[in-house]
Amino acid sequence: MNTNELAAHWMPFTPNKGFKAKPRMLTGAKGMYWTTDDQRQVLDMTAGLWCCNAGHGHPHIADAIAQQARTLDYAPCFGFGHPLSFELSERLAKLAPGNLNKVFYTNSGSESVETAMKMALAYHHAQGNGGKQLFIGRERGYHGVNFGGISVGGLTNNHKAFGQWIPNDHLSHTQDLELNAFSRGLPLHGGVEKANELEKLIKRHDASRIAAVIIEPITGAGGVLPPPLGYLKRIREICDQHGILLIFDEVICGFGRTGDVFASQTFDVVPDIMTTAKGLTNGAAPMGAVLAGDHIYEAVVEGAGSGVEFFHGYTYSAHPLACAAAMATLDVYEQEGLYQRGAADGEIARYLEQGLHSLKGLPGVVDVRNYSLIAAVEFEPRSGQPGATGGLIQTAAWEQGMMLRSLGDAIAMSPPLIIEKQHVDQTIGILERSIKQHF
Ligand code: PLP
């Protein structure tokens, strides 16, 4: 395609001018590989945008979407329903931990976050605590791009032009290179101390004003930061002590990324509300789902009079094609054993861990961190160009046939859960060459 043909599309989260001068065009995908417009095979080490957990082009998922399009292409979900969304909800509730038994559908992770935040406000309102309106997020947290999400998110670029309009405060991020550099699995040090910061924020604002704490069990887009040991449990304890809801944003972590269906199972901490998207449909159809605890639903829905109880929803909530994609995706995860395949102590996660940590000692590498099948390598910032190194390594890898995510001075990996040892070997080889090219 020539430059004129690229002009009309304003691309999201993309340096548009850079892309249009040198496009990276994907034309097909199968299993672990993309096909590009110049017929190269590119290894997908990111599962797209952390979403194609079963690999690309799975025939069971493709067939389910095609068949659904011919049977019931659309059904409004305000006051009407279709059976598939109820079947899917029952299935998700069975997979979820604790009492997360009520499922509300959205079309994306961002919409799941907004929905979860509104649920928290509606819950407190229903209980006569309408003053609880403030949300606590975390530095380097990413919760999508809508106004709630950027208020609780902790990535400055995402809100500096737009503001943070929902009352908010933020916990510190959990990275500590002095204590925990080159951690394999969960960082060992400082977890409880970091979590105790929440008590300071509660003192600052008072629990009577705080609706919820929202965090990713593993910070993803903010740099892949697995929670230090004890951190999540301590956050849960403090929330319970103060009547503050806990929302886990599992948009990346859900559906096998941590070796269980959900990270809350891996880390044995059950939130009050959980957001999901991405892996729910293997990326093959836009869909998110918010799983709410029974207590949330009971307060908001059972406790209300007749009529609409929760004034919220989307034209495409529970879209039939997305429901079909999700049902088929869950079949694939189950049939191919993918939820557990990437477990932190499993063969493939250990192999990736070993390979990545072998990069320690290469020039410019200041950290390698990983949990299960999510990992990052961090580099020294270049003088005068902080935040540029990840992009340089990403480009070098792309030119050698591998897709990575660049996150400032780090690169992140979250491969499809079908990854094999040969793909890890290919990854380490390309990474080594790319690092040597730039340092
Ligand atoms: N929450 C988390 C933790 C995410 O990683 C993302 C996207 O990467 C989102 C929310 C937003 O999801 P979406 O891009 O589908 O709106």
The DSSP string of 79-140 is S---HHHHHHHHHHHHHSSTTEEEEEEESSHHHHHHHHHHHHHHHHHHTT-TT--EEEEETT
Give CA–CA dist 195/171, Å, rounded.
8
**DSSP 8-state class, residue 219:** B
User: Which of 161, 168, 277, 153 has the alpha carbon at shortest distance from 222?
Assistant: 153
Angle separating helix axes 320-335 and 83-95, nearest 10 degrees: 40
Give the number of other CB atoms < 10 A from CB of residue 342: 26
Measure 128 CA to ligand 1 centroid, in angstroms. Answer: 31
Q: Which residues contact 318 (CB under 8 A, 6 or more apart)?
A: 75, 77, 81, 82, 85, 88, 105
Q: What letters, b where the CB count within 10 A reaches 16 and e where it falls short, cover 153-188?
A: bbbeebbeeeebebebbbbebbbbeeebebbbbbbe
**DSSP 8-state class, residue 299:** I
Domains (ranges, CATH) in the chain? 3-54+340-438 (3.90.1150.10), 63-335 (3.40.640.10)
Q: Which residues contact 350 (CB under 8 A, 6 or more apart)?
A: none
**DSSP of 36-64, one letter per residue?**
ETT--EEEESSHHHHT-TT-B--HHHHHH
Give CA–CA dist 320/405, Å, rounded.
31
Measure 151 CA to ligand 1 centroid, in angstroms. Answer: 14
Q: Pocket residues for ligand 1 (CB within 6 Å)?
A: 49, 108-110, 113, 142-144, 216, 220-221, 249, 251-252, 277
**DSSP of 240-252, one letter per residue?**
HHHT-EEEEE-TT
pLDDT tens series, the chain, 439 aa: 878 899 999 999 999 999 999 999 999 999 999 999 999 999 999 999 999 999 999 999 999 999 999 999 999 999 999 999 999 999 999 999 999 999 999 999 999 999 999 999 999 999 999 999 999 999 999 999 999 999 999 999 999 999 999 999 999 999 999 999 999 999 999 999 999 999 999 999 999 999 999 999 999 999 999 999 999 999 999 999 999 999 999 999 999 999 999 999 999 999 999 999 999 999 999 999 999 999 999 999 999 999 999 999 999 999 999 999 999 999 999 999 999 999 999 999 999 999 999 999 999 999 999 999 999 999 999 989 999 999 999 999 999 999 999 999 999 999 999 999 999 999 999 999 999 999 9
Strands 33-36 and 402-403 come out as unpaired
Which residue from 14, 110, 117, 214 has its CB within 8 A of the most atoms of ligand 1, so it is best to mutate?
Answer: 110
Measure 310 CA to ligand 1 centroid, in angstroms. Answer: 23
| C-alpha distances out from residue 117 to 146, 211, 430, Å | 11, 9, 41
Burial class (CB in 10 A: 0-12, 13-18, 19+), 246: buried
User: Which of 337, 397, 405 has the alpha carbon at shortest distance from 374?
Assistant: 405
Q: Which residues contact 91 (CB under 8 A, 6 or more apart)?
A: 327, 330
Which residue from 251, 276, 405, 407 has its CB within 8 A of the most atoms of ligand 1, so it is best to mutate?
Answer: 251
Q: In 3-state terms, what secondary structure has residue 293? A: strand
Cβ atoms of 270 and 97 within 8 Å: the answer is yes
